[in-house]
Structure 1
């Protein structure tokens, strides 16, 4: 047997003695009071990490580095192609701005345990607001800027914030989105009314402030008295991040202070391979889990520099935007979603924009947030000539469950797999009865309890829903909701959500396998496959395909080739015969394809437009495309309808 790798050693240590493993990781941070128990299992399955310990996340991410002599190092690089603004904020400058923002919140009555909703765009002030809450021990809940009033109102009523931080507007590729009218409408709907709102006025669009409730950010924060960090319990909530629920009521994923800080600090070094002083760029949004973990918290906890980018991979101004940022700011690691690279590939399939820039300083590209199809992997790998690392995790876990750990041991890549479980996670594939499945057998992807630090300890004010949603189906395991398998080498393959399994004449077929076949066609930029109802075979698969820029071949010829390709690579049992070519796929703002919505349209069901959709108008094109296949959908209803 070969000698164990650094990954093997770390994985076995975390498996055999998680208390010792995570205790050592936690010792790298500053604790105001040491913990009594590393792992508190007395209320299992509601586990808690570092019970009895006291610390402050803001102190560990900012103040600690200033005291260590790193105050002059850049902490945040703000690059906004949509406004033409660039700004570098050092750790010392960030400490002052966060302390003053925390002082402004305290002056408005915010104390430890109070909630603050943050409804803001991709600006440094959003990050400052998050850390200001952490500094006070208040609980922040970031709601994606521009979210619909109804959805914002639901979150206001659930979190019951004392203060809301917002801005006059957000800026999209070709439009300005005024936030204040959306917030005002949400507050007419919500039962809970916050006492105050602090509004960041942006030069491109200013708004009227509501007398008695609204405060100008610049005046309020600049004139506030800076406040020190408040030590809080490691088990206290740091933030609430809402994610979609099957019942229609959003689930408030809770992240605690202690376990979260330990996991962020450990993961950015051992998974992403970062060292203090280096530049890390997570091209995501503050409103999503990636934004929380790897724009705001992990880079600064490790003493790195984080990039806050207010732009898109294409359109601000072109498909070379990522390469410009990497060259200009000497980004060492880029972390984004596969959909971003599919958009770049669609607009610049030959990489002509990439050739204009020097990206030699980039070490690695990490991709996550959705399944990384092999075609996109190979394209990115060939273009960059750098390692491309797939990783898989969820809002609930907060950090990667499976990845090729750059800071431990990198293994040979198997396209389509995020490689192996990260130390701390024990991933098991179970059948319907809860029995472990052998290698290469597809089933439910679960994680053995207890989950490691940094994952959700519960849902906001709803332990019962947390247990029922995630822990009851397979006792002793967390149900991810994804289907997949582990091969003979221990590599994990995620084939899609369990409800994306398509049942055709009694055969369970993976939509991911069919998408992989379609994506391998040279004319295809991106695709999605959904299962629609069929009275004879239960379901039949339907493909939606976006072609690469410049493809001029007859659509009928391309679709015939696609049908044959799935028949050849998946098999005739798939009964794959229906393909529609569209200009774009319906997606959330984080890049996830809205397969359930497409399925509902195809099945003729009344469709509520998801609040997270990037552009609702795309559903009209999807409906027309499905109708050309003989699939008539009902007109979609309004949000919440």
Structure 2
């Protein structure tokens, strides 16, 4: 235990602070400041909050930071906290705001404040899953087209229990829904395109995001795929990939996540395992000053029909494989539907939204395929 090698704060001398390379006058002041805090504050958490704000700063040597930290939590145990939230900041978190509003209702006389009662709330969530999860669903404005028969049902076929039995839902629809916490003009995505570091940050409102996703969902239906078909995404995480991901789920298909760094053989293996029927990709990947081919790797992987976009945001300027479609032409198929709401395809919570592969997968061995259910 690291803290066993350090003295408690009230046992640290000025000379020990000086020994860390701190000038005598500064060491004297630091020692006095710590002593004043110890006189005024009792708990280790409060002591550390005051020391980290009033005593420590980046110009002091790191060993002094360690001396203060481990000295503060000398008797805490083997695993002292690395960070403690500010009470005001804690109240602004989702769980903090929930407890501020409903803490007394849920915890009764035990409730005092979000930080003090967090462990009590965790215990409550385990002991009262029906109440807790109904509260969470309400907080997140999650709606079901068919509500669950219960929250959690004991079922020998489901290790750990069967969650939300009988329910039907579309997660993407819930992401795009309006609520008392989410309005059409709220900014929901902020980004800066690769290679445009000096450009202003771009943003998209919920209303704009909905329209983009609806249009892609309509275009997906022009591919003639069965509902539940797998559709791969092999491209960088940018605003278009977010739109595509949510559109695939909204339209009742399954996303196959493929890292844009993979070689053709690795892409091919994932496409075969997931039985992907289509793939979204880019012509190139821009990484600083580097230009890395991507579409050519997808072609070499013998991918199914590919919808290809330009990394530079302009019209695609390359020859595509027969049957492949440019992003512009893909959306142009349904341009007359822009702005019209797409009717979300609801599915059983036993359905899937995503097939992903663990990192570090190579060849045919070592795969860990994870299918993500709707719940």
Question: Structure 1 length normalisation: TM-score?
Answer: 0.36
CA distance in 2, matches of 1:255, 1:64: 25
What's the CA shift for 1:69?
A: 7.0
* Structure 2 residue matching 1:60: 3-state secondary structure: helix
Instruction: Give the corresponding residue for 2:66.
Output: none
Q: Provide the C-alpha distance between the structure 2 equivalents of 1:69 and 1:223, rounded to a whole number of angstroms.
A: 31
Q: Say if 2:186 is the partner of 1:73.
A: yes
The RMSD of aligned alpha carbons is 2.6
Structure 2 residue 327 is the aligned partner of structure 1 residue 217: yes
3-state DSSP class of the match of 1:253?
strand
Residue 152 of structure 2 is matched in structure 1 by: 39
Q: Contact between 2:170 and 2:374, CA under 8 Å: does it hold in 1?
A: yes
Alpha-carbon offset, residue 56 of structure 1:
1.3
Using the TM superposition, give the Cα deviation of residue 99 of structure 1 relative to its aligned residue in structure 2, in angstroms: 0.6
Kindly report which structure 2 residues correspond to 1:388-537, keeping only aligned pairs within 5 A, or say none. none
> Does residue 1:155 correspond to 2:278, yes or no?
no
The residue that corresponds to 1:22 in the other structure is 133
Aligned length: 249
- Looking at secondary structure, tell me which structure has more strand per residue: 1
Map residues 292-307 of structure 1 onto 2, 5 A cutoff: none
> 1 CA distance for matches of 2:182 and 2:132?
29
> Partners of 1:7 and 1:72 in 2: how far apart?
33
Equivalent runs, 1:212-611 vs 2, <5 Å: 212=323, 214-224=324-334, 225=337, 227-244=342-359, 248-258=365-375
Matched residue, 2:251: 136
Alpha carbons 1:48, 1:235 under 8 Å: kept: no
Cα distance per residue 1:205-235 (max 9 Å; x no partner): 84321122x1111221244245321111122
Aligned residue in 1 for 2:124 = 13
Are 1:200 and 2:309 an aligned pair?
Answer: yes
Q: Structure 1 CA distance, aligned partners of 2:177 and 2:325?
A: 27
Cα distance 1:152–1:165, how it changes in 2: closer, same or farther (>3 A)? same
Greater RCO between the two (CA within 8 Å, min separation 6)?
2
Matches within 5 A, 1:82-101: 82-84=195-197, 86-101=201-216
Measured against aligned partners, the alpha-carbon deviations of 1:163-202 in whole angstroms (never above 9, x if no partner) come to 1011111111331111111101111xxxxx52x2111123
Distance 2:149 2:134 in 1: 11
Using the TM superposition, give the Cα deviation of residue 116 of structure 1 relative to its aligned residue in structure 2, in angstroms.
0.6
Following the alignment from structure 2 to structure 1, what is the Cα–Cα distance between the partners of residues 278 and 182?
Answer: 34
Aligned to 1:48: 162
Where does residue 175 of structure 2 map in the other structure? 61
After superposition, the Cα gap between the structure-2 partners of 1:39 and 1:69, relative to the gap in structure 1 and judged at 3 Å, is: closer
CA deviation string 1:531-558 (max 9, x = no partner)? xxxxxxxxxxxxxxxxxxxxxxxxxxxx
Higher helix share: 2
How far did residue 243 of structure 1 move?
0.4
Is contact 1:111–1:137 with CA below 8 Å preserved after alignment?
no
SS at match of 1:37: coil
- Return the alpha-carbon distance in structure 1 between the equivalents of residues 227 and 241 of structure 2: 19
For residue 494 of structure 1, what is the aligned residue in structure 2?
none
Residue 242 of structure 2 is matched in structure 1 by: 127
Is the 1:238–1:257 Cα contact (8 Å) retained in structure 2? yes
TM-score, scaled to structure 2? 0.61
- The equivalent of 1:639 in structure 2 is none
* Deviation at residue 63 of structure 1 after TM alignment: 3.3
Q: Shift of residue 48 of structure 1?
A: 3.3
Structure 2 CA distance for aligned equivalents of residues 154 and 63 of structure 1: 36
Contact kept, 8 Å, 2:307 with 2:327, in 1: the verdict is: yes
> How big is each residue's C-alpha offset from its partner over 1:449-486, in whole Å with a ceiling of 9 and x where there is no partner?
xxxxxxxxxxxxxxxxxxxxxxxxxxxxxxxxxxxxxx
SS at match of 1:198: strand
Q: Give yes or no for contact 1:146–1:182 (8 Å, CA) kept in 2.
A: no
